[in-house]
Amino acid sequence: MSAARRLLALASLPLFLIALGCGRGGRGQVNVYIWTNYLPDEVVADFERRTGLDAQIDTYASNEALLEKLQSGVADYDVVVPSDYMLKILGPQGLLHPLDAARLPHRSSLDPRFLNQRFDPGNRWSLPYLWGTTGIGYDRRKAGEVTSWGALFDPRHAGRILMLDDEREAFGAALRLDGRSINERDPRALERAAARLKAQKRLVRAYNSSDFANLLATGDVDLAQGYDGELAKVVAKDRGRLAYVVPREGGTLWIDNLAIPKNARHLAAAHAFIDYVLEPQVAARIVAGVRYASANRDALPLIPADVRADPAIYPPPAVLDRCELIEDLGATTTLVDRLWMEVKAQ
């Protein structure tokens, strides 16, 4: 009967497919593990054309997912893109391969402002790729022009305010308003910030870290603390009504960085890929495609004018000077955790 033969054929399929999977990759290869929407398809295609290498792109959703993969020791990635704070974990844990500066001639195109950061002094493990800020997205007609974090604490906007559901970002806004650093460790300054946040709570419509841009776009809130990339997208759709600002007190800065995992098998290809995306023309195409700011200084004149002039992507330098990276607070973390819990539980 044909049932048996059909079943046999079906059962032999996996062996065939697995054999097929193993036979891949005759020419050189580079395996890139990167955030979603961080590398336009056409840039990948151009890299493959130019170098003759196969670029295999996989995506992840969080720094923690990346950490887990690298810790397993059997992930086969050659290039990864950890954020600032994650580099401070990956480097000391011995999960990264030092970069070979001689193989990265285009690193000279990078803006020195983003080099030699505290999370990787001397750029031993990484080079900056894209960066962004935390600020306020707002409805011009309802909230007027916003320039300060104070707007999020203004009773006039009661019930129309969204805060990120993130203790460091919430405290960051309150601390900045007091003229303090986002990484403040003084317990009294933190208590004051917590008091501000508690008083603010009755004005807040929602604490939300994932859907803030949508809620602003649909008019559920008039002011939303949020990350620039997502806010930039809704603002670009409705410029007459919506705007994004990094408040004049300064906000949070984040930097995502190119790095090579310790057990990478294609070191030459990994360096070739990193140097390729550091080329000013390529970096400019990436910015135009993904709408995040690049750490590449030489790429600036090549970026489309509307993107370069968009303060939601490239905030004015004076404001950027007042932005800070979030750093590990060490022992103070417990205090901030407790204060944030008090705010949320109130």
Partner 1 sequence: MSGRARRRPRSGAARLLLAAHSALLYLFLYAPIAVLAVFSFNASRQTAAWEGATLDWYRRLSADGLLGRALGNSLLVAAIATAAATALGTAAALGMARGGGRARRLTWGLLLLPVVLPEVVLGAALLSFFGAIGLRLSLSTVAIAHVVFSVSYAAVVVAARLAGLDPALEEAAADLGAGPWEAFRRVTLPLALPGILAAALLVFTLSIDDYVITSFVAGVGSTTLPLHVYSMLKVGVTPEVNAVSTLLLAGTVTLIAAAQVLLRPGSAKGSP
Residues 33-72 that bind partner 1 (CB under 8 A): 33, 35-37, 41, 44, 56-62, 65, 68-69, 72
Closest contact distance (angstroms) between CB of 200 and partner 1 is 25
User: Closest Cα to residue 279, out of 39, 34, 104?
Assistant: 104
**Rounded CA gap, 232 and 292, in Å?**
9
Residue 93 in contact with partner 1, rule: CB under 8 A: no
CA angle 216, 221, 227 (to 5 degrees): 45
Residue 131 in contact with partner 1, rule: CB under 8 A: no
DSSP structure string for 231-242: HHHHHHH-TTTE
Neighbours of 290 (CB within 10 A): 19
* Interface pick for partner 1 out of 93, 218, 281, 334 (rule CB under 8 A): 218
Give whichever of 83 and 117 is closer to partner 1, judged by the CB atom: 83
Strands 223-227 and 126-139: antiparallel
* Interface pick for partner 1 out of 93, 214, 281, 333 (rule CB under 8 A): 214
Residues 145-164 that bind partner 1 (CB under 8 A): none
* Interface pick for partner 1 out of 28, 73, 92, 144 (rule CB under 8 A): 73
* Interface pick for partner 1 out of 230, 249, 298, 310 (rule CB under 8 A): 230
**Rounded CA gap, 179 and 96, in Å?**
37
**Rounded CA gap, 83 and 246, in Å?**
20
* Interface pick for partner 1 out of 11, 305, 331, 345 (rule CB under 8 A): 11
| H/E element, 275 | helix 267-278
Distances (CA, A) of 306 to 107, 132, 233, 281, 310: 26, 17, 13, 17, 6
Where do runs of H (alpha helix) occur along 40-111? 41-51, 63-72, 84-90
Closest contact distance (angstroms) between CB of 51 and partner 1 is 18
Closest contact distance (angstroms) between CB of 193 and partner 1 is 27
Closest contact distance (angstroms) between CB of 59 and partner 1 is 4
Closest contact distance (angstroms) between CB of 70 and partner 1 is 11
| H/E element, 206 | strand 204-207
Running DSSP on this structure, what letter comes out for residue 80?
A: E
Those residues whose C-beta lies under 8 Å from the C-beta of residue 234, and which sit 6 or more positions away, are 137, 213, 214, 216, 217, 242
Closest contact distance (angstroms) between CB of 310 and partner 1 is 16
Instruction: Give the pair of three-digit tokens for residue 35.
Output: 């955030």
**Rounded CA gap, 247 and 151, in Å?**
9
* Interface pick for partner 1 out of 46, 75, 97, 111 (rule CB under 8 A): 75
Closest contact distance (angstroms) between CB of 267 and partner 1 is 15
User: Closest Cα to residue 76, out of 113, 112, 33, 116?
Assistant: 33
Running DSSP on this structure, what letter comes out for residue 296?
A: B
Give whichever of 210 and 345 is closer to partner 1, judged by the CB atom: 210
Closest contact distance (angstroms) between CB of 108 and partner 1 is 30
Residue 240 in contact with partner 1, rule: CB under 8 A: no
* Stretch in the footprint of partner 1 (CB under 8 A) among 104-112, 142-150, 152-160, 213-221: 213-221
In contact, 108 and 209? CB cutoff 8 Å: no
Residue 21 in contact with partner 1, rule: CB under 8 A: yes
* Interface pick for partner 1 out of 53, 67, 70, 77 (rule CB under 8 A): 77
Q: How many residues bind partner 1 (CB under 8 A)?
A: 47
Closest contact distance (angstroms) between CB of 198 and partner 1 is 30
Residue 142 in contact with partner 1, rule: CB under 8 A: no
By CB under 8 A, name the binding residues for partner 1.
Answer: 1, 3-4, 7, 10-11, 13-14, 17-18, 21-22, 24, 31, 33, 35-37, 41, 44, 56-62, 65, 68-69, 72-77, 210-211, 213-214, 217-218, 229-230, 233-234, 237
